[in-house]
Structure 1
Amino acid sequence: MVCCVKVVAQVKLLPRSAHDADALATTLRACNRAANRASEVAFAKDFKRRNPLQKEVYYPLRADFDLGAQSAVRVVKKVCDAYATLKANIRAGNLGPEGSRRRKRAESKPIRFREDAAQPFDDRILTWNLDARTVSVWTVAGRVKDIPFVCSDEALKLLASRKGESDLMMRDGMFFLAATVEVPEPEPFDPVGFLGVDLGIVNIAATSDGQIMAGRGLNRCRRRHLELRRKLQKKRTKSAKRVLKRIRRREARRAANTNHVIAKKLVQTAERTSRGIALEDLTGIRARVTARKDQRSRLHSWAFAQLGAFVEYKARRAGVPVVFVDPRNTSRQCSRCWHTDRSNRVDQARFVCRSCGTVLHADHNSSRNIAYRGDAAWQRGAVNRLSPTAG
């Protein structure tokens, strides 16, 4: 059996006319309003499985929201998937630092969908023409044919092996389609050691080879956007709100691009040297760490989980083994003599061992400890902990 890794290929739609754009926007609104109606029924009657919920709401959704047969089915499936995801997150404790409060709030009312939330389409209501780079989409105003799309050459290659659903999304008045593609996954090779990676805020990543990937530029960008948001929010004018709306995703896009670049470098380095990658398991760190008020924005904008996910799926496509290790005392333990003491960490950037006198960059020392723990875990029989999906 050939294993596959799931990758998301995204394209941008270019509607030929205002009528086509309005038809797509109206369809998203209708589908999400229908999803809210179905969610209310699912919550009130505890119909969280597809068959009983579809039997209850199928005909009312078609009549009240002018949906086609297959689009109504997709709406019901979307609602059931949302409740299944919520249940899984509650079970795994993935609701953030205010988990108990969020859990009570989530269990006390039905799930709500934004009017511009993504809507899944299958091959019955969405057709791809990759040669002409167009799509044909069902809408509440009828099928809109030959809508052009643009994408990278890599995304076009991925779409050639596309199967299943594609999600229609709207962001800032622009329309996108995201298709999940299964790519054959090579067998992970037997690593000759591990590349340890220490994740941080001041330095986004530091490797056991001594490479430091500083976060100065990204942190400056975050501070600048934070001050700009504060200034514009104080004004409370229409023009200030327009600017806020225009810039709201810039910081997230820059952070994602930075993480993609770093993840690619890490995977290429590990693949070239026939090593695996060892990362810290930072699950729940925001709930464990107490930050001062002036540092909370930095802590909560730290995209370590995104970087870890990017490393995981890029490594999986390259056949590079990845293991996650316990992060405790990696910054206090000497990577040469294993002496552990809080006073070893002199400051943010400097590590001085009180036992053997070793002096290293603090993040470099941590990454060496992570590499050692990753190799030890692999020798004990650890397996890849790789996500089933990636984007």
Structure 2
Amino acid sequence: MRISVIGCGYLGAVHAACMAELGHEVVGIDVDQHKVDELSAGRAPFFEPGLPEVLTRALESGRLRFSTDLADAAGAEVHFVAVGTPQTKGSHAADLTYVDAAVRGLLPHLADGDLVVGKSTVPVGTASRLGELVRASSGADLAWNPEFLREGFAVKDTITPDRFVYGVPAGEAGERATAQLDAIYATALEAGTPRLVTDYATAELVKVSANAFLATKISFINAIAEIAEATGADVTQLADAIGHDARIGRRFLNAGIGFGGGCLPKDIRAFQARADELGLDSLAFLSDVDAINLRRRDRVVALAEELVGDVSGARVAVLGLAFKPDSDDVRDSPALDVARRLHGRGASVVAFDPEANGTAGRVAPELEYAADVESALRGADVVLVLTEWKQFRELEPAAVAGLVSHARVVDGRNTLDAAAYRAAGFEYRGLGRP
């Protein structure tokens, strides 16, 4: 099928490349000329495993191209809207400026039978409003097809997702939209991927509900970690024990520095803001989820100060800056936030991340960035492991001890072998661990 993807940031670039990989003819459109030039040259503007290879194959096949001209979307049968919905300045609500502009910009280029498909995460009620606009201004229909991408696994999650959700209008328009989406996702559907067809509101709520649940699960175990620290219990063993309960599960029960990134923090705030607009206090608990998450960063700083005393003038090695491994994304990254807080207290912070040094450096140029992990560790008074990259998990404690000035480590992700580090002479501090 002929497809346009409006917005070529993280979501849109991955979606465009993967749709071309599946055999569709795709044009990706973005207002940022530099981004379009980079993508057209086969260079992904962010780190995502597997994307450069898919992007290169798609471009070489001739099925994928990029443009800054929205008129190039004309002729496509399906138009995916994948622009950002940032948090509104001075409010927790989602800013729909880019979504509204993308849909309105598409209107002159839509033909009878076209389908506009929202991928962006939006407050419930948005699709209904935009659907009326699209139908009143053209012979096109609108569907909402939320994404469930995990950074670091986005290519896999696009080509072989764990489910599809279609939010469609009632009647024949919904049947047409469903058939068009089925044609686009035929490969995965034929392989048995579940497909749920819903109304607009349900589809919008699925994504934010999933993110709210995951955020709540993470903050739950971090709240328990606070109790564990006060009582001498081990939250890691506790999580193992309750994780054997099939109703609970072990995933997302890793206590640590908390969640970040461009989705969970803003999405739970926007979700609560939308509930408030509806006159409901059903999601008031998300304020506590957010607060628990943010105070984990305070706790990591406090643990560093427990080990060092006054951190002013101390050399602090920070391992990890991205909000999660296999990503260079530092949006609302707990790791980068902690590094900046320690710098603000007068510490000499030397940071290293396998992929995020560049993105972090643009946000926090005040920090010192090491070229490799050994350079970051050399002469450190304390080491903070803040992103659970594999190479940090696999460091040999004895080798680390040979580089640092003082054998002290704060395990911000509870990812290290505490016994091995203690055996190598380290003062070890984890979160929620004795």
Larger RCO: 1 or 2 (CA < 8 Å, sep 6+): 1
Structures share a fold, TM > 0.5? no
Normalised TM-score (structure 2): 0.27
